Structure 1
């Protein structure tokens, strides 16, 4: 066995072990809870709070809400893929194919931008927690799949992230 074959073999075993671990269950629950919390906030308290913002802050809030929603949708997609792999609903090859469509790099506006100081603290908390969750998922993804350069290359080739995301979710739920 060559060193390269040995490395690939270890990576696969590590991926299987991490996805089936208790820490994944906690990460999955945290991710899905944050998705629900953000949706509830944006549809209720956040909608009301946005009406009281200045035009600049309201524009920032709207843009940041889109980034938050995108970030959480991508994280949820990754978590669903891992769960599908864990339960045997998807093969490793299927997961890798669909995972290539997931982007775990949605940034947030810098807190120094004009209007950020008007954004409600409860919303800022959700944004910060989503960024920390995305960073943990990205780190876990790197540790599991260890394909940094190939992932960046695949991301660059993706032409329609919304279409890719819809396809990814349809695949994840289609195998239930």
Structure 2
């Protein structure tokens, strides 16, 4: 954990996940993600939401004045990017949880209105060199972007009807060569 001004903390650990893809006789025509995998990813996203809310709450209430004036507008823009990334990811994961719970089908979950959006904003170039931003914000931005990219890859694989690649399978195939 990293401590920052105001006493809040940022968790700098990554959760490990099992195989995200399950294929059964019931879902051969409609693949779906393993509910336990979706739940772990959702928990990671919500932990990041809480850390972001804590950090921005501390900065908003006391620390914004400590940010250099020439960095403030970029700080605000990058904070909005951060919250947009998290909103998109959590919304997508809620749809996947609804699939796991039998509330909607995967086809419904992957409909255009439920897909990740805001890609240009979420994955756009930083407004300022991130080295000029407070380190805590830079870390949150990095983690949130990485989470968005992971979910985007999962969505792409689901839309293509292909199971996500298991990194272990890739490594094993390289070792066999």
TM-score range, shorter chain: 0.5 to 0.7
RMSD of Structure 2 on Structure 1 (CA): 2.3
User: Among residues 12, 15, 22, which one is paired with 2:30 in the alignment?
Assistant: 12
1:11–1:144 contact (8 Å) kept in structure 2: no
What count of residue pairs does the alignment treat as equivalent?
132
75, 78, 82: which one aligns with 1:64: 78
Aligned mate of 1:107, from 123, 128, 138: 123
2:96 to 79, 82, 88: 82
Q: Where does residue 141 of structure 2 map in the other structure?
A: 127
Q: CA offsets, 1:88-107, max 9 Å, x none? A: 1223343233324x316212
TM-score normalised by structure 1 residue count: 0.65
Shift of 1:134: 0.6
Q: Report the alpha carbon displacement of residue 80 of structure 1 after superposing the two structures with TM.
A: 0.5
* Bigger RCO (CA 8 Å, 6+ sep): 1
Runs of 4+ in 1 over 4 A off after TM superposition: none
The aligned counterpart of 2:52 is 38
Which ranges in structure 2 are unaligned for 5 or more consecutive residues? Answer: 1-26, 162-177
Deviations 1:147-172 (A, max 9, x none): 8xxxxxxxxxxxxxxxxxxxxxxxxx
Instruction: List alignment gaps of at least 5 residues for structure 1.
Output: 1-8, 148-176
Which structure has more helix as a fraction of its residues? 1
